[in-house]
Chains A and B, each alone.
Chain A
């Protein structure tokens, strides 16, 4: 082996990896990432820290803008995932790459030359690794945990030495998670190397040998897990300087506007996504929900805004029970909803600016005549007002919304929702992907609304945003609130711990 002294120690060396996406987003800034042979290596970080991007580069799905990758002491440059696979590097994604209508067996051998003893080899693999999967059942008929095992088997069958797992426990039950960890330990004992991407502190501490912490596209530190504490990791993960601040005049909250009582909601897979959440948002208050994405925030918002039916619990709007009400009814009662997915939910991209400016209020008296006819002149006036008041840059009212920039699309959504003069504003990830100016502007608008006596429910994966804007904060983890407190009562460390699954003491 023509390896340097390091090559012997490190199976994988990624040196100075920078990744700039075509739209100018800088995902990674000179990352050095080293993995030892035969270890379980945790890759820890918040959303958008660059974990997945880094691993997609290692597995050949993305090409770095600059930087070098060395595997086994040899410099490599992967042009595709199959090239990485040939070098023994395979990645199991959050969204599994399995053909739904094929059986497990068919998925495992898919794309490979027929081998007489394929089945025997798979059965032997299952024996060795403890990954038990029914080979002749179609993927679509299997629960998620089993599908994941099938995907791992598929990688092992392809003789992978380095197994990359991207947030593998997101959709697993606690028992399945334990089983997965057991499997990972076995693989390690057989000499495989595992890279484990996660944001969950507990899991990192439980299963990994070493951890690399990423923040904002940079490596914050590498630690031996046995010497690490959750406090230390939490601080590394979220501790960062505040970029800019929004001035927030003090205000006494008023009457309760939104009350959520012991709410239980299932996700699309039928699993519990929200587990007994209770809170109140008062007039003149911003209630922020922090937490890593995918911990039930989306389902909670959907239940409150009428897009998903809760299984148990009550939602009250100004004291009236509105559980299970459709969006149209909630809008009439004073709900404004800035959805997290503006392009897929908040706008009809192929409709024009004027048409989008009335989405949700199209049956309002201002826009609909006696014969259910649209009052176009009134609609256009409304759209121009939004454009003017909220500084939306649009070529014309007849331009399809698709042609607007992301920031202007969001300003149109925000403008539309705020111009309803709602009593309750639900804002989910309101500034995601926006530039600094648009971000600041939208945050100001939300604070203005609160100061004018509206109730604001803010959900954001951006911790700074939640900390700056909110009067009270809840941190959500796996469908539950880890605690509710005023932002000044919390240290970043505490929030980081709560985001990683530790309850606020006494909370």
Chain B
């Protein structure tokens, strides 16, 4: 049996390598057709993100991987409970809003950070719980409800930015997190803050929760076979709701970390531009990481590296931003395809969820 497990792990690894090579090859052809040198571009991309000894580059990679690590957990815990929670985006927005609300209060310095974390994760959990209650007790499709809730969150937060908590010195953003409430910068001159530490800790905690607590056991049993779960004395509705709450906490923390731990703004910017998209990137990260917390850590660092390497590609290899985005997209999709197919297969054979 150990052997079977080993074979399966090797198979997964081979799958990732094939997907990686395919992704790089396809984007290489795209670049080549566009008249750019793919070899040079890839060397620049990886050389300024992952395959480098320059601490600045590595720090950039890690700083980009922190938020998507959080949001990947949101998706992964959902998948384990058998739901397709794509609401990390909106839950992250309200989490950031929670941090900004705390920032707007006048408090003793040491209170800002713990309160921001508490308030942000609470709002994230609440936002997740809305979709969770609708799914578990009213049978509302979670894909539809979370997409709608994402947009509701977007406009609520944007409204707050413009009308309730605008920054008096800079109308393009909200009130900043005051100095004492910020996460410490780990490497001077970079954007790398303690948010990466927080992200890794939360990821490891979610691993512990799923495989070493009764709640995790009940969530996983529900995800694999809700009928057997009910037979096993588990309340599947409650397990599903918990998965949304846990996911909401993780996504809320992603938002908090972008406010308390991302120089230079420490605030929500116009059109939520410094938050936008992290929730969806988390889905691909989770799929690449086989929806497993321990797979999510390397997957998040890799995707973070693609983001960090984008600058190198532009500056060193002269590839325009649009092309860089296309290349990133193709590679990420190629990596996510195997996981996505597996997920769809189990959902379809189970007759949808």
Contacts and interface: CB of A to CB of B under 8 A. Distances in A.
A368 B212 CA distance: 10
A348 B233 contact: no
Given A351-B220, A372-B215, A363 B233 contact: yes
A398 B5 contact: yes
A134 to B, nearest CB: 28
Interface string A78-99: 0000000000000000000000
Given A307-B230, A331-B233, A351 B5 contact: no
B33 interface: no
Contacts of B225: 344, 348-350
Contacts of B227: 344-345
B224 A374 contact: no
Contacts of B216: 374
A347 interface: yes
Contacts of A344: 225, 227-228
A374 B218 contact: no
A371 to B, nearest CB: 8
A396 B2 CA distance: 9
A405 interface: no
Nearest to A394: B1
A326 interface: yes
B213 A360 contact: no
Contact of B228 (A328, A331, A347, A362): A347
Given A331-B233, A344-B225, A349-B225, A374 B213 contact: yes
A396 to B, nearest CB: 4
A189 B189 CA distance: 94
A350 B211 CA distance: 14
Nearest to B232: A359
Nearest to A395: B1
Given A355-B217, A368-B214, A348 B229 contact: yes
Contact of B232 (A362, A371, A396, A403): A362
Interface in A388-409: 395-396, 398-399, 403
Nearest to A302: B231
Nearest to B231: A345
A373 interface: yes
Interface string B203-240: 00000000111111110110011011111111100000
Interface in A410-453: none
A116 B233 CA distance: 57
A362 B214 contact: yes
Nearest to A345: B231
A373 B230 CA distance: 20
A330 to B, nearest CB: 8
A21 interface: no
Nearest to A368: B214
Contacts of A355: 217, 221
B284 to A, nearest CB: 24
Contacts of A279: none
A351 B211 CA distance: 11
A206 to B, nearest CB: 38
B224 A328 contact: no
Given A373-B212, A374-B213, A360 B2 contact: no
A500 interface: no
A328 to B, nearest CB: 3
A348 B224 contact: yes
Contacts of A398: 1-2, 5
Contacts of B224: 348-351
Contacts of A360: 231-233
B221 A351 contact: yes
Given A348-B225, A351-B220, A362-B214, A327 B1 contact: no
A374 B217 contact: yes
A127 to B, nearest CB: 39
A328 B1 contact: no
Interface in A103-130: none
Contacts of A371: 213
A337 interface: yes
Contacts of B228: 344-348, 359
Nearest to B228: A348
A339 interface: yes
Given A351-B221, A362-B214, A399 B1 contact: yes
B292 to A, nearest CB: 14
B233 A326 contact: yes
Contacts of A326: 233, 235
B214 A374 contact: yes
Interface string A354-382: 01000111110000100111101000000
A327 B232 contact: yes
Contacts of A363: 214, 233
Given A395-B1, A398-B1, A359 B214 contact: no
Contacts of B235: 326, 328
Given A359-B221, A399-B1, A327 B213 contact: no
Contacts of A359: 221, 228, 231-232
A355 B224 CA distance: 12
Interface in B99-157: none
A326, A344, A361, A372 — most chain B CB neighbours (10 Å): A372
Given A331-B233, A347-B228, A398-B1, A372 B213 contact: yes
A349 B227 CA distance: 12
Contacts of B212: 373-374, 376
Contacts of A305: 231
Interface in A7-58: none
A395 B5 CA distance: 12
Interface in B1-59: 1-2, 4-5
Contacts of A368: 214
A94 to B, nearest CB: 19
Nearest to B233: A328
A349 B212 CA distance: 19
A348 B229 CA distance: 8
A351 B228 CA distance: 11
Nearest to B215: A372
A350 B225 CA distance: 9
Contacts of B230: 307, 327
A396 B227 CA distance: 25
Interface in A449-472: none
A363 B2 CA distance: 28
7 contacts: A346-B228, A346-B231, A347-B228, A359-B232, A363-B233, A396-B2, A403-B1
Interface of B: 1-2, 4-5, 211-218, 220-221, 224-225, 227-235
- Please provide the 10 A-B residue pairs with the shortest distance between their CB atoms, ordered closest to farther: A328-B233, A359-B232, A395-B1, A396-B1, A399-B1, A360-B232, A327-B233, A345-B231, A348-B225, A350-B224
Given A362-B218, A398-B1, 17 more contacts: A307-B231, A326-B233, A328-B235, A345-B231, A348-B228, A348-B232, A350-B225, A359-B228, A359-B232, A361-B233, A362-B217, A363-B214, A363-B233, A372-B215, A373-B213, A373-B214, A403-B1
